[in-house]
Chain A
Amino acid sequence: MSVTTYQLKRVDLIFKNENDWKQILSKTLKRKKEDIINSLISSELKGRGGAGFPTGMKWKLTSEAKEETKYVICNADEGEPGTFKDREILTQVPHKVLTAMAICAYVTGASEGYIYLRGEYKFLQKSLYNAIGEFERYCEEIGFHFRIAIFMGSGAYICGEETALMESMEGRRGEPRNKPPFPTDSGYLGKPTVVNNVETLVHTYTIFKYGAKKFRDLGVQYSRGTKLFSISGDTPIPGIYELELGMTLSDFVEEFGDGDTKAVQVGGASGFLVPRKRFAETQIGFQGKLTGVSLPTGGSMMLFNSSRSMFNVLNNYLDFFEEESCGQCTPCRVGCQQLLKGIHAVKRGDKPAVYLNKLLKLSENMQYTAKCGLGQSVGNSFASIVENFREEMIF
C-alpha cells in the first residue's frame, strides 16, 4: 500500500444525537438476520478495542453456534494508558450502545447482555442504569425480550482481554484462557458470546442508520470508517476526536503537536512508539507500515516533545506492565520484571550497553511465548523505544 497524501478529516458520527434510537431499533429488528450480518461484513468494520477483528464475522460465527443460551457483552474495561473514549461514549450516547447490543442479541439469538464497566468508572453506573431502565421498557413495548446488566470490574487492566473478562465475570481471577475455543463458540459460562468494544458497537449503530456504504466510503483500504482518538501528552489541545482512518502521523502531528514533537506513542503502552523521522511514512490504521507490523489502534495517541526522556516513558510503561501482568504465564510475569530491572541496570552502569540487545531478545521471546495479548505486546513499546532512543536508555 502506498503512502497517501491524505489530510486529516474530522467527522461527527459517534456523538451525533441519539434521539432516533427507538426508530433505528424497531426498524433494524424487522430486517433479516443474514441481511444485517451481510451489511456489517460489507462495511468492513473492524473491532475498535485494538485487536481489529472483523465485527460482522464475530456476529456471524456466534449466530451460527448451536446453543440455546448465548450472551452479548459490551467491553467497557477501558484500561489502556492514554485511552478514554469509551467513557465519553457511555456518558454522551449510551442509548446507541444499548441499541447495538440489542440488535446483536437479535442477530445472534442471545437474550442477556452485560456491560463490563471498569471499577474506575463507577461514577457512570447510576446514569447508565437509568438509560438501561428506559431502554428495557421500550424493548418490552415492542415485544423484544432482552435484559442488560452492568458488571463492575475492580481495577484490573488484564480484564479488558475478552477471556480474562469472562473469567472475572464468572467469579475468578482475571486470567486469560487459552484460545481456541474462541468466545464465539465457548465464552461466558461456556456459552457462545459476542464481546464487543463500546466504540465498535456505536459504529454498528452508524451502519444501521446510514447503511454500510456510507461507513465504507470513509477511511482507506483495510481501514474503513472513522475512529475515536484519545489524544494526550504534549499537545495544546488534548481530548477526544473522531477522525477518518488512514491519515499519516505527520498530518496528525501537524494538527495536534506543540511544534516540538519528538515522538508519538500509538496505541497506548502496548502500542508502538514512532520517532519523528518516521512520521511521514507511518499511517494510522489497521495496516501500518511500521517495521512490517500492523499498527494497533485502540485510539490512544500520546505525544512527547523534546523535554521528555524516553527512559522515563519506558520505565513508566514497564512499571505498568509489571503490575498488571496477571502472573499466570512465566514469559510475561518474569519477562516484565526482568525488562524493568534490566533497563535500570543499564542506566546505572551495572550492565554494559550491549545488555540492551539481550533485553530486546527477551522482549521478542515474550512476543512468541506469552499466553495473551498483554505479554505479547510488551515487546512493541519496548523494542520501538529502545531501538529508536538507545542513547537515552544508556546515558
Chain B
Amino acid sequence: MNSTQTLIKDLARQYGRDRRNLLPIIQGVVEQENYISEFAMIEIAKELNMPASDVFGTASFYSFLEHRKMGFYVIRVCKTIACAMKGTNQIMHAIEDMLKVKIGETTPDGKFTVLQTNCLGWCHKAPAMLINDEVFTDLSPERVREILGEYMRKNR
C-alpha cells in the first residue's frame, strides 16, 4: 500500500465512510498532497463504496480542490473588485516576474503554483493573497518580493 492509500484509509477511519464525509476526506488529501489525483479519487471511491465519477464530480466543483498537480506552495492572489482597484495586477506581475511563471503554472522545481482567486474577504486591506492557508494583506510589489523571497529560501 502506498502513502496515498494509507492516507485515505486513515481519513476514512477518522471521518467515517458516509457520503457526507466525502468533502472532509478530499480536503484531507489536498492538505497533504496539495491536489487530488485521479488515483486518489479512485481510492476514495473504493473506500466509500461509490462511483469514482461522483468523487470527481464533487471534487471538480470546488476551486480549492485542484485536480491538477500543484506546487508545494499554492499562491492565490485575489482579483475581485476591491483588490483590483488597489492594484492586484501589479502584484501579479511582480510574482510572475519573480517566479518566471504565468498564472496557472507551476515552477519547474515544483515549489510554487500561481493562481488567481475570487474575493478572499480582505477588501479593507487590499490587495490580498493566500499562500497555502496563510493570509497576506496590504500588498505592494515590494512587499510581495520580500514575502516570496522568504518562501524561496525556505525548505519545503
Q: Does B118 contact A (CB under 8 A)?
A: yes
Q: Which residues of B contact A232 (CB under 8 A)?
A: 82, 123-124, 126
Q: Which of B26-81 contact A (CB under 8 A)?
A: 26-27, 57-58, 61-65, 79-81
Complex: how many Å from CA A369 to CA B126?
Answer: 35
Check A302 against B65 for contact (C-beta < 8 Å): no
- CB-contact partner of A81 in B27, B65, B80, B124, under 8 A: B80
Task: Choose among A78, A154, A174, A324 the residue with the greatest number of B CB atoms under 10 Å from its CB.
Answer: A154
Cα distance, A189 to B80, chains bound together (Å) = 34
Any A CB within 8 A of the CB of B153: no
Interface residue ranges of B76-135 to A (CB < 8 Å): 79-82, 84-85, 117-126, 130, 133-135
Given A81-B118, A154-B63, residue A123 in contact with residue B135 (CB < 8 A): yes
Expressed in whole angstroms, the Cα–Cα distance for A170 and B58 within the complex equals: 10
Q: How far is the CB of A221 from chain B (nearest CB, A)?
A: 31
Q: Which residues of A contact B124 (CB under 8 A)?
A: 84, 230-232, 238-240
A83 sits at the interface (CB 8 A): yes
Chain B residues closer than 8 Å to A233, beta-carbon distance: 81-82, 85, 123
* CB contact between A82 and one of B61, B117, B119, B130 (< 8 Å): that residue: B119
> In the bound complex, how far is the Cα of B52 from the Cα of A177, in angstroms?
23
- Interchain CB contact under 8 A, B80 and A316: yes
Whether B63 lies near A156 (C-beta < 8 A) is yes
Interface size on A, residues (CB 8 A): 51
B64 touches A155 (CB 8 A): yes
Task: Kindly state the separation between the CA atoms of A317 and B82 in the bound complex, as whole angstroms.
Answer: 11
Residues of B close to A313: CB separation below 8 A: 81
Pairwise interchain contact A82-B82, C-beta atoms closer than 8 A: yes
Chain B contacts to A: CB under 8 angstroms: 18-24, 26-27, 57-58, 61-65, 79-82, 84-85, 117-126, 130, 133-135
Give 16 pairs: A residue, B residue, CB < 8 Å, sorted on A: A78-B121, A80-B119, A81-B81, A81-B118, A120-B121, A121-B121, A154-B63, A154-B65, A168-B23, A171-B21, A233-B123, A269-B81, A313-B81, A316-B79, A320-B118, A323-B118
